[in-house]
Amino acid sequence: MKVDPSASNATSGNDGNEEPKSDDEETKMEKAAGAFENFPISKETITNLRAKGVSYLFPIQTKTFHTVYSGKDVVVQARTGTGKTFCFAIPLVEKLNEDKEPLARGRPPKILVLTPTRELAIQIANEFRAISKKLKICCFYGGTPYQQQVFSIKEGIDVVIGTPGRVRDLIQNYHLNFGVLKHVVLDEVDMMFDMGFAEQVEEILSARYKSDPTENPQTLLFSATCPNWMYNVAKKYMQTEYEKIDLVGHRSQKAAITVEHLAIECTRSQRVHVLGDIIQVYSGRLGKTIVFCDSKLEAHELSTNCALKQSAKPLHGDLQQKEREVILKGFRQGTFQVLIATNVAARGLDIPEVDLVVLYSAPKEADAYVHRSGRTGRAGRTGICISLYDPRESYCLRNVERSTGITFRRVGVPSLLNVAESSSADAIKSLESVPADVVEHFKGYAEELIEKKGALTALAAALAHISGATSIAQRSLLNMEPGFVTVVLQSSVPINTISYAWRSIKEQMGEEIDSQIHRMCMLKDSMGVCFDIRPDTLQSMQEKWTDSRRWQFTVATVLPNIQPSRSDMSGPGNRSFGGRGGRSNDRRNSSFGRRGRGGRGGRGSGGRSSGGGFRRGR
Ligand SMILES: Nc1ncnc2c1ncn2[C@@H]1O[C@H](COP(=O)(O)OP(=O)(O)OP(=O)(O)O)[C@@H](O)[C@H]1O
């Protein structure tokens, strides 16, 4: 094995010779190194690349081009979204373009690309088609009729991109011939060599690979995660002297550096209530989000859950292939905003505008986290990946941190204020996009409205309507359950136990209040308690309760600092709130709602603002 020392463990694309001084300078250097004229790329391909928005080669492509073009076997490890597909597609297309053999009918393919998912196969085939209009590029994957694929084999093929099951089937039953195969690419190679695919891959390659490696096709292996065991399996197919190009290395961060990695603690029962708010705050009304679930059932249920405010569709293996393709196309085109997916979308899928990825369960496995989080922050864009986790799953985050070199920024569940801020920002953005001539048409009605309601109220109502806030839903701040209001009973002196608060409440409200108070817990500074009640109980408490010198009753608008329970020594009260673009909106120390005059706490501010969330029409 020959390892390129300059490439191994490198963290940027500038060959490690000259350190750039700034981001601008680094980009300039990358562009200079990746200029098309530095590579044997045909005019036709350059025209096609430019039409696709590619004006120079990305660092990983610059680094791998000559090696791939020279025919050497290579293993490439580079972070998600850095452009590995063109690392093989461009030089291999150029190699085939150089072939002067006529493109005869029935010609067998010269390039084979195997991928673990159908969606990835389709995507890679489209990348090949974008840069070569001349070659016959075929995409073979399961869940589709054989007829067209068999017809293509008879017609002649230059490049086959496919999933192992269908490709094997076509070899065995439909005369797909790999006799003259010159180049083999295993994309997401660690997955291709893993249990689910290893046997099929072995069967496919055994049709062409001989014991004498010099007779074998050029073998190119790519992934963002190349564990050590993978190299052992790979040896079987590689020339003895193969190159290893690694832009990740062992010491640096394995996940995309363009992604901000956040974690929000909330129990499983809370998640369904807060997911919509999380998406609103971190991705906005129109941003694209992928939510990863661990099961098809969960993906399906979540996509139909009305607590989700954005339009959502599921993507999982139980759907018909046609349906999978329609859903993915709709998501790419923006006909809906949230894709609720299982692992079928975890690897390779490239949808540049995805701003946010949410892992609905704590990440259990570091490499899987690298790929899932890598669905955002692609091709130099930034993105956010949020992992939801139960207090008992904190260890999962620590494992991922240790293995990938990332540090999760722990943030709290978004508050009503965060949601309102984000919704109105969206609404203002939509206002800005209305053409001036259309605005002109509405000015008369606006004048009437301003006269009737006043400018402020009229505009506020319009913003609320545009942002889809059709009602204010009350929600517990302690566990996010809808239909509850969180209140605080503040003591003027420290208390040792919550029973002291219970006694005082019962003295004023009567014994029957006992069953109407939920989840009572001590404030972190021991200066009182907070608990959940139903809105009707809040009303009767507000009517009966009288603040004393000792106790003051208020409605919480953000979660106060509370003492961690025994099961979790880092409760949600210790969290800060983050928002889109990573800004920190820590409101832990803000006051908990207005205190009513005349000794009655909470009246006026009442349940309206406590623990609420905007409920949107879908
Ligand atoms: N040189 C380039 N200039 C502009 N865009 C590029 C360039 N190379 C690749 N891209 C774009 O970057 C995006 C990511 O590329 P690609 O899907 O190949 O990444 P990847 O490294 O294979 O990611 P993953 O590991 O997740 O599969 C794609 O949208 C691709 O079109």
Following DSSP, what letter does each residue of 361-386 receive, concatenated?
S----HHHHHHHHTTSS-TT--EEEE
Greater pLDDT, 428 or 384: 384
CA dihedral for 405, 279, 361, 359, sign (positive or negative): negative
Greater pLDDT, 474 or 279: 279
| Lowest-pLDDT choice from 56-60, 132-136, 191-195, 266-270 | 266-270
113: CA distance to ligand 1 center in Å? 16
Give the model's confidence band at 141: pLDDT under 50 very low, under 70 low, under 90 confident, else very high: very high
**Atom 4 (ligand 1) nearest CA:** 54
413: CA distance to ligand 1 center in Å? 32
Average pLDDT over residues 554-575: 61
76: CA distance to ligand 1 center in Å? 14
Residue 360, exposed/middle/buried by CB under 10 A (0-12, 13-18, 19+)?
Answer: buried
Helix (H, G, I), strand (E, B) or coil at 576: strand
Q: Is the pLDDT of residue 196 over 90?
A: no
**How far is it, in rounded angstroms, from Cα 238 to Cα 230?**
12
Q: Is the pLDDT of residue 584 over 50?
A: no
Number of Cβ within 10 Å of residue 245's Cβ equals 22
Average pLDDT over residues 317-334: 95
**How far is it, in rounded angstroms, from Cα 212 to Cα 217?**
11
Greater pLDDT, 574 or 140: 140
Greater pLDDT, 106 or 473: 106
Give the model's confidence band at 322: pLDDT under 50 very low, under 70 low, under 90 confident, else very high: very high
Best CA proximity match to 13, nearest among 56, 65, 58, 74: 58
Q: Say yes or no: ipTM exceeds 0.85.
A: yes
**How far is it, in rounded angstroms, from Cα 165 to Cα 116?**
10
127: CA distance to ligand 1 center in Å? 10
Average pLDDT over residues 348-369: 95
Helical spans, DSSP H, in 467-534: 499-509
Q: Is the pLDDT of residue 580 over 80?
A: no
The pLDDT value recorded for residue 471 is 58
Question: What is the tens place of the pLDDT at every residue in 5-38?
Answer: 333 333 333 344 455 667 788 888 999 999 999 9
Q: Is the pLDDT of residue 41 over 50?
A: yes
* Strands laid side by side in the 485-491 sheet: 518-522, 528-533, 485-491, 551-555
Contact at 8 Å (CB) between 350 and 81? Answer: yes
**How far is it, in rounded angstroms, from Cα 225 to Cα 77?**
6
CA of 80, closest atom in ligand 1:
25
Number of Cβ within 10 Å of residue 96's Cβ equals 19
The pLDDT value recorded for residue 164 is 96
**How far is it, in rounded angstroms, from Cα 242 to Cα 216?**
13
Following DSSP, what letter does each residue of 263-310 receive, concatenated?
EEE--HHHHHHHHHHHHHHHHTTTSEEEEE-SSHHHHHHHHT-TT--S
The pLDDT value recorded for residue 174 is 80
Instruction: Look at the pTM and tell me if it is higher than 0.80.
Output: no
Site to substitute for ligand 1 among 46, 49, 54, most atoms within 8 A of C-beta: 54
The counts of H helices and E strands in the chain are 20, 21
Greater pLDDT, 77 or 571: 77
Tokens describing residue 420: 């309102």
The pLDDT value recorded for residue 583 is 32
The pLDDT value recorded for residue 472 is 60
Computed on alpha carbons and rounded to an integer, the radius of gyration of the chain in Å comes to 29
CA dihedral for 246, 249, 252, 254, sign (positive or negative): positive
The pLDDT value recorded for residue 372 is 97
228: CA distance to ligand 1 center in Å? 25
Best CA proximity match to 138, nearest among 179, 166, 116: 166
C-alpha torsion angle, residues 431, 432, 436, 438 (rounded to 10): -30
Give the model's confidence band at 469: pLDDT under 50 very low, under 70 low, under 90 confident, else very high: low
The pLDDT value recorded for residue 22 is 75
Average pLDDT over residues 378-385: 95
**Atom 22 (ligand 1) nearest CA:** 84
**How far is it, in rounded angstroms, from Cα 174 to Cα 151?**
10
Contact residues for 13 (Cβ-Cβ < 8 A; gap 6+): 30, 33, 58, 59, 60, 62, 63, 247
Per-residue exposure over 134-167, b if at least 16 CB sit within 10 Å of its own CB, e if not: ebbbbbbbebeeeeebeebbeeebbbbbbbbbbb
Q: Is the pLDDT of residue 564 over 80?
A: no
The pLDDT value recorded for residue 274 is 87
Strand locations in 467-527 (E):
469-473, 485-491, 518-522
Question: Which residues does ligand 1 sit against, CB inside 6 Å?
Answer: 53-54, 57-58, 61, 78, 80-86, 224, 348, 350, 352, 374, 378-379
The pLDDT value recorded for residue 317 is 92
Give the model's confidence band at 64: pLDDT under 50 very low, under 70 low, under 90 confident, else very high: very high
Q: What is the mean pLDDT of the chain?
A: 85
Question: What is the tens place of the pLDDT at every residue in 104-130?
Answer: 888 999 999 999 999 999 999 999 999
Share of the chain above pLDDT 70, in %: 86
Question: What is the tens place of the pLDDT at every residue in 423-435?
Answer: 888 888 888 888 8
Angle (nearest 5°) at CA 523 between 520 and 525: 160
| Lowest-pLDDT choice from 118-132, 247-261, 448-462, 589-603 | 589-603
Average pLDDT over residues 589-601: 30
The pLDDT value recorded for residue 99 is 81
Question: What is the tens place of the pLDDT at every residue in 207-252?
Answer: 888 877 788 999 999 999 999 999 999 988 999 889 999 999 776 7
CA of 52, closest atom in ligand 1:
31
* Strands laid side by side in the 137-140 sheet: 2-3, 243-246, 74-77, 218-223, 183-187, 111-114, 159-162, 137-140
Greater pLDDT, 290 or 277: 290
Number of Cβ within 10 Å of residue 200's Cβ equals 18
Question: What is the tens place of the pLDDT at every residue in 490-539?
Answer: 999 999 999 999 999 999 999 999 999 999 999 989 999 999 999 999 99
Give the model's confidence band at 275: pLDDT under 50 very low, under 70 low, under 90 confident, else very high: very high
CA of 127, closest atom in ligand 1:
31
Tokens describing residue 415: 């508050």
Number of Cβ within 10 Å of residue 311's Cβ equals 12
CA of 224, closest atom in ligand 1:
25
Q: Is the pLDDT of residue 577 over 50?
A: no
Average pLDDT over residues 380-387: 96
149 alpha carbon, distance to own chain's centre: 33
Average pLDDT over residues 335-354: 94
Site to substitute for ligand 1 among 27, 55, 84, 188, most atoms within 8 A of C-beta: 84
DSSP 301: H
Element spanning 340, H or E: strand 338-341
450: CA distance to ligand 1 center in Å? 51
| Lowest-pLDDT choice from 64-78, 109-123, 192-206, 207-221 | 207-221
CA of 371, closest atom in ligand 1:
26
